[in-house]
Amino acid sequence: MTSEVTYAEVRFKNGPSSAEPKAPPGSETPPLSRFQKCKPWFPWVVSGFFMLLSAILLVVIIVILKGSPKKGSIKSQFQKSTAWNCLLKRPEGKEPQLSCCMGGLEQFGSSCYHFSKDTRTWNKSREECMEKGFDLVIINSDAEQGFLTNHTQNSQVENFCIGLTDQKGTNQWHWVDETPLDPMLAFWRSKEPSNDDENCVVMHIGKGKGNEMKNNWNDVRCSVDEHHYVCETNTVFFSI
């Protein structure tokens, strides 16, 4: 007896195999966020950084406020200080100002002056002034020459170096800022300048009256003869 074989059509749907059952809806595990992936100490580091930055900013603000005196208080602070000599000036059309020089300096116009107690050659005198942040004095007016003459007249010093020179030997006198000497503001003594090898200038302190006393410049050797000297710098202005 011949047996019959029956063929059946079997269709398979795409989907999970029986070994991997599909999870019910809503039970999927969400992907890890960036912060979940970070180290557990990371948020503390960030917080600490911002706290440190805030503290630094606070300190800076306090320092600025303390270092900026209120308007009207500058005058009293500088008047009490021995480190500054100040004059109250009232420029026309402007607010009053304090014109100040460091302690030990003399003030005239908008300049501060240091009159040395030691002696140097003209070249060394300029080096000493520049080390202090000054330079040898430049005389720009008849009034300034009168101030310097009057200030030095009572000293027991013979000569003070000033910032006038002809070190090129061309008989063309220049101030230390390279400004040429104005012939109308030249205060030479009689018969000066006298020697070709004397190319630097001192203010000679002598006796006399009027122009005889004010005309007191004398040429000297720049690197040989030693004299006292006058340094000059600008005053410092403060609004009040």
Query: Where residue 135 sits, what CATH number does that domain have?
Result: 3.10.100.10
Select from 79, 73, 70, 137 the least CA-distant residue to 108.
137
CA–CA dist 123, 126 (Å, integer):
5
Question: Domain total for the chain?
Answer: 1
Residue 209 lies in a domain: yes
Select from 31, 21, 235, 230 the least CA-distant residue to 136.
230
pLDDT in tens, 138-195: 999 999 999 999 888 777 778 999 999 997 877 889 999 999 999 999 999 988 888 7
What is the structure's pLDDT at 71? 37
Residue 179 lies in a domain: yes
Residue 9 lies in a domain: no
Residue 24 lies in a domain: no
Residue 123 lies in a domain: yes
Domain that holds residue 114: 74-239
Residue 65 lies in a domain: no
Residue 38 lies in a domain: no
pLDDT in tens, 112-133: 999 999 999 999 999 999 998 9
pLDDT in tens, 23-59: 555 555 555 455 455 566 666 666 777 777 777 776 6
